[in-house]
Structure 1
């Protein structure tokens, strides 16, 4: 019995100190990309909120208006998946309606990622140039 307990403690200790591959990369920050000749930014905050920003407007975050309704936009990232799964979640305050933009991401370099957007309501399964954008981390 002592051997089993010792092995269990040793296993738990080793796994708690193991560095997982996702720990060396975080999507949190400000990312600059170009889509259809327009420069835009995606900002992933530590608090779970996300923003899309262009020269004309900013959408997202804790408080913004969409179609006349107050809303929030947050994000979820699953670093354990290959490719990385990123979801943008818009929730309206009044109706509580939730919509998701399903994406996949891959790290190209330390501060460069490619995001593939699932504009058709489902998660993309591969990367292409039509709905994919390369982003450089600026902050």
Structure 2
């Protein structure tokens, strides 16, 4: 009986930790790469998108080459740096690709983010694979 009670207490704590880790990412982030401004956005529903030159890739629904898809994200903050998976799902035909990333919070509103377009997760932040993103403040903040 004690084991069951212990499990009932631990499970909500684990889900709270996962939600708190995800909450660090939620918001619209602005970054600059070779003088080009871009945005990344992580929402509370688990969707993510990138926006460059007005073009949006990802989110709850997007169209690429005439096909619909979406992009979600997964966070593993038990690692250092934090592991982030961006999961791009094309709906027809059903195909999935994971972009393996790492993130490091410099402060609450500044994040270093590295992404790999091959199947290897970056192990460090360098000028080739990473950007610094600043959280864009909402008007009511």
TM-score interval w.r.t. the shorter chain? 0.7 to 0.9
The CA deviation at 1:121 is 2.3
**Pair 1:121-2:119 in alignment:** yes
Aligned length in residues: 131
The CA deviation at 1:119 is 2.1
Q: Which runs of 5+ in 2 are unaligned?
A: none
TM-score w.r.t. length of structure 1:
0.81
The alignment's C-alpha RMSD in Å is 2.8
The higher radius of gyration belongs to 1
Q: Is the 8 A contact 2:24 2:108 kept in 1?
A: no
Which of 35, 38, 44 is equivalent to 2:36? Answer: 38
Structure 1 counterpart of 2:100 = 102
Structure 2 counterpart of 1:74 = 72
1:37-96 Cα shifts (integer Å, max 9, x gaps): 210000001001111112331121111111221111111111111110111111111111
TM-score w.r.t. length of structure 2:
0.80
The CA deviation at 1:118 is 1.0
Q: Is the 8 A contact 2:115 2:129 kept in 1?
A: yes
